[in-house]
Structure 1
Amino acid sequence: MSDPIETAIFEKLSAIDPKGDNGKSIEPAEVAKALQPEQWQRMMPKVRGMALGLMRQGRLTITKKGKPVDPNAFKGVIRLRYPTADETAAALAARPPVVTDDDDFA
């Protein structure tokens, strides 16, 4: 089952960039307002956190002034968009390696 924040992010993106190839972006506040119109400010940290997780998975790009941000060091006003193929590859390459041979439990 998908997280409602994740679902809202991708619904908003799909509405403005259906194929994900135009580079159009949304504000995180749009997602927060769609989820909780009356208290959307309270949703902002959760939306930003979900966006960060999706960026680390290579499924989303967080930008500032049109440029992708470093997921480990950003603050301020951001926007969200679909990643390019290169951005997805870079995000996946930056992930820690998966250890399949764990001798501790042998």
Structure 2
Amino acid sequence: MDTSASIEEAILSLLSQRVPGKTICPSEPARQVRPDNWRRLMEATRAVAAQLASQGRIEVTQRGQVIDITSARGPVRLRLPRE
């Protein structure tokens, strides 16, 4: 499995384990995929999150508001879409 697919699987798996509406930090899937070198995966994790968000599979939030991760600066959170 390539790294992007592993990151996508980790994001969706972690979110499926959360109570609806709860979020994860993008570092969580990166740490799951590569615990010893997770910081190197942060750019790829944000890219995968952007792709999932564009497909409507997740939402990216900052300070509780849904945002476009491609233009976000600073910390963001990931969650499943609200129904």
Structure 2: how far apart are the matches of 1:60 and 1:34? 18
Show structure 1 runs of 4+ deviating over 3 A.
none
1:66 is the counterpart of 2:68: no
Q: How many angstroms does 1:70 deviate by?
A: 2.6
Unaligned runs of at least 5 residues, structure 2 = none
Q: 1: distance between equivalents of 2:29 and 2:12?
A: 9
Superposition RMSD on alpha carbons, in Å?
1.7
- Find the aligned partners of 1:27 and 1:80 in 2 and give their Cα distance: 6
Q: TM-score, length-normalised on structure 1? A: 0.70
Q: Work out which of the two has the higher radius of gyration on C-alpha atoms and give 1 or 2.
A: 1
Bigger relative contact order, structure 1 or 2, given CA contacts below 8 A and separation 6+? Answer: 2
- Give aligned-pair identity as a percent: 40
Structure 1 residues without counterparts, runs of 5 or longer:
86-106
User: Could you tell me whether the CA contact under 8 Å between 1:56 and 1:71 is conserved in 2?
Assistant: no
Say whether the 8 Å CA contact 2:46–2:69 is kept in structure 1. Answer: no
The alignment covers a number of residue pairs equal to: 81
